[in-house]
Amino acid sequence: MSLAPQVVVVGSFVQDQTFFCAQFPSPGQTTVGTFVTGPGGKGSNQAVAAGRTGVPTAFVGSVGDDAFAREAAQFYATEGIAAQFITKPKHATATAGILVNDAGQNEIVVALGASAQIKPRDINRNLIANAKVVVCQHEATLAINAHVFRLARQARVTTVLNPAPMRGDFDPAILKHTDVLIPNETEFVALANQLGLAGKTVLTEKKLAALSATALHRLCRGFGVPTVIVTLGKRGCLVSQTDGATLIPACRGIKVVDTTGAGDAFCGGFAAGIVKFDHDIIAAARFANAVAALSVTKRGTAPAMPTAREIAHFLKQSGKA
Ligand code: ATP
Ligand code: RIB
């Protein structure tokens, strides 16, 4: 019998259609590249990242009645990770067009399709109540996130919000039900400006990059969320808690191939770390840093998430085990 899921991720499954090219084409330009398709979606990527660490994990998301949905179910069966796919027959499984250039940067357009059709009645309350950590992002609906977090809070389950991609209709009310907020720099800037955290100044990514850890921590405290973790790409991440901030540098000595899904690897690794390290936030963030670093050494999103064995080997090799 399989163990009850300790990490539950509610979000999107997306069929990624990825094109690799030397440089992004400019508007009006056609460029020659190579193509792969595979399982993606921020929610699903995070569930795969958590599940591959060995922590019992479940993914919940809605899909169409089509070939991509059948491949998704097959992928989860092969991975041995629990998944509840809710079928929305009138809608297509979500798809994303992804461009990756030779510098490992990406540009993404995601069509949410069936993923945006999930409803509160689709959520199994017991699955949420029996978890230790519940994770949501912005590729299903904001209403489902609010519903899931309310259920989680009633059951004292830790809630993790990755506000990706940032949306114009974001309702800050969810922050009251959020234990850990994990934005990247783009999302942080958008959120901070929406909430007016920088006063009359408009925050930009350039200004954010120039902030000291203390100044960034001060801004983080404005969200009113116990823990805010800002992921800073190759600079690592800043963990802001009520009693202070910790800057965790990114893991060094890795060969960056494709950073698509690095944020997802971090969030999934963090959720698993919360379980593994019994709610030690800093230990979980260090673990997430390693999971994310390993994910950028491979092409693709979900398939690039490292296994427990790869993580253990990497931590041992880098003297962090
Ligand atoms: P993406 O949108 O590409 O999926 P993101 O913008 O959401 O990523 P980032 O902040 O770029 O997320 O990266 C997430 C985490 O991945 C970082 O906090 C870090 O731990 C790891 N990471 C990213 N780039 C690198 C790198 N070049 N070297 C080592 N670790 C990296
Ligand atoms: O974060 C990466 C993911 O974002 C991709 O897998 C793609 O599906 C998009 O939703």
Task: Render 99-140 in DSSP notation, one character per residue.
Answer: EE-TTS-EEEEEE-GGGGG--GGGS-HHHHHT-SEEEE-SSS
* Angstrom distance (rounded) from CA 269 to CA 293: 11
Active-site pick, 16, 179, 258, 264? 264
**Whose alpha carbon is nearest atom 13 of ligand 1?**
233
As a whole number, mean pLDDT of residues 146-162 equals 98
Tokens 């899931």, residue located: 148
Annotation says 264 is catalytic: yes
Q: What is the pTM of this model?
A: 0.97
Q: What was the pLDDT predicted at 155?
A: 98
Question: Average pLDDT of 281-291?
Answer: 98
Q: Which residue has the tokens 């203390």?
A: 214
CA gap 63, 74 in Å, rounded: 13
Specify the pLDDT at position 223. 97
pLDDT > 60? residue 309: yes
Is any ligand 1 atom within 6 A of the Cβ of residue 295?
no
Pick the atom of ligand 2 nearest to 94's CA: 8
Residue whose CA lies nearest to ligand 1 atom number 12: 263
Average pLDDT for the chain: 96
CA of 57 to the centre of ligand 2 (A): 19
- The β-bridge relationship of strands 57-63 and 82-87 is parallel
Tell me the CATH number of domain 7-24+34-317, given options 3.40.50.20, 3.40.1190.20, 3.20.20.80, 3.60.40.10. Answer: 3.40.1190.20
| C-alpha closest to that of 86 among 111, 117, 57 | 117
CB 137 within 8 A of CB 41: no
Ligand 2 pocket test, candidate residues 9, 16, 264, most atoms within 8 A of CB: 16
pLDDT given for residue 1 in this prediction: 44
For the chain, the domains span: 7-24+34-317
| In the predicted structure, residue 2 carries a pLDDT above the cut 80 | no
Average pLDDT, stretch 33-37?
A: 96
